[in-house]
Amino acid sequence: MSTFGWLAQPAVFPWLALLFGLCIGSFLNVVIHRLPKMMEREWRAECAALAGQEPPQEAAFNLVVPRSRCLSCGRGIGALENIPLLSFAVLRGRCAGCRAPIGLKYPLVEALAGVGAAYAAWRFGPSLAALGAALFTWFTIALAFIDQETGLLPDDLTLPLVWIGLALNLNGTFTTLPGAVIGALAGYLSLWLVYWGFKLLTGKEGMGYGDFKMNAAVGAFLGWTMLPLVILLSSLVGLLFGALQMFAARGRWDGGFRFHFGPYLAIAGIVALYWGEPIVRWYQYRL
């Protein structure tokens, strides 16, 4: 066994993936919070340029700077306060400075990213498939939370995910390359057709173009054969959450509720990634 060969052992590799995934989850929280704000800054600059005005002068703001701060008091967050999950537990879910509550979203994202990476490592072992499954999970976590909070599915996440899926399937990691290419095309066009059909019938927009691109990314990863399952599962999950929303509103639809399809696509995509083939075989057998 090589010097580092023990890292790939089944009893070790998933735990290492868990720790790495927790760290990635901490970074995903930064992406979820900052990327929409970065997009807004870019739009303001573009609008100013189109109007022939000087773009607004704003301090540097990206995924690296400025340093992370408490949203309530503005206090800088130290390295020891950024340890995934552990810091939240030690601080009892409150800022060390002003004691304002820290949202449960932050440890939830870290936990999902860590568990997702650990499961990918356990399921596929030290392989390209494990890396691909972890990347798919991390990207979809970020997309789901951003979409739920803002209604946006940034091209900075959806388009790289399409290319990553196609690149991984050059050697058939999850599906054949033709299946991945057709999956990307079919994923985009299927929701594009739904969008235009709904708009022609109602005059309203039922979803955004980001949904098309996210579905294309799912197709690029899993191939076109999984898309019917993904669309069916995401629709069922959406109906479930919609029913829960109506129940919370005591049977009346909350007019302020906005339906975001990204989180449901994320859930359906992850289910199809790991359990899609058994589900499809079970369904075909039942027929």
**What tens digit of pLDDT does each residue of 245-282 get?**
667 666 555 544 556 889 999 999 999 999 998 988 88
Phi-psi region of 203 (alpha: psi -120 to 50; beta: other; left: phi over 0): left
Query: Looking at the structure, do residues 131 and 198 belong to the same domain, yes or no?
Result: yes
Residues 62 and 132 in one domain: no
Concatenate the DSSP letters of all residues of 27-94 into one string. HHHHHHHHHHHHHHHHHHHHHHHHTT-PPP-----SSSSS--B-TTT-PBPPGGGGSTTHHHHHTTTB
Measured from the Cβ of residue 52, the count of other Cβ atoms closer than 10 Å reads 6
Tell whether 114 and 21 lie within a shared domain. yes
* Residue that terminates a domain, selected from 98, 126, 154: 126
Same domain flag for 121 and 145: no
Six-digit token string for 113: 């990213």
Last residue of a domain, one of 88, 111, 126: 126
Q: How many domains does the chain have?
A: 2
What value does the mean pLDDT of the chain take?
88
* pTM of the model as a whole: 0.91
Residues whose CB falls within 8 Å of the CB of residue 12, separated by 6 or more in sequence, listed in order? 6
Average pLDDT over residues 7-27: 89
Q: 159 and 286 in one domain? A: yes
- Specify whether 232 is located in the same domain as 279: yes
Domain that holds residue 59: 1-126
Q: Tens digit of pLDDT for each residue in 201-217?
A: 888 877 888 999 999 99
247, 151: one domain: yes
143 and 95 within one domain: no
Report how far residue 21's alpha carbon sits from residue 113's, in angstroms, rounded to the nearest whole number: 5
Write down which residue in 63, 91, 126 finishes a domain: 126
Higher pLDDT, 113 or 88: 113
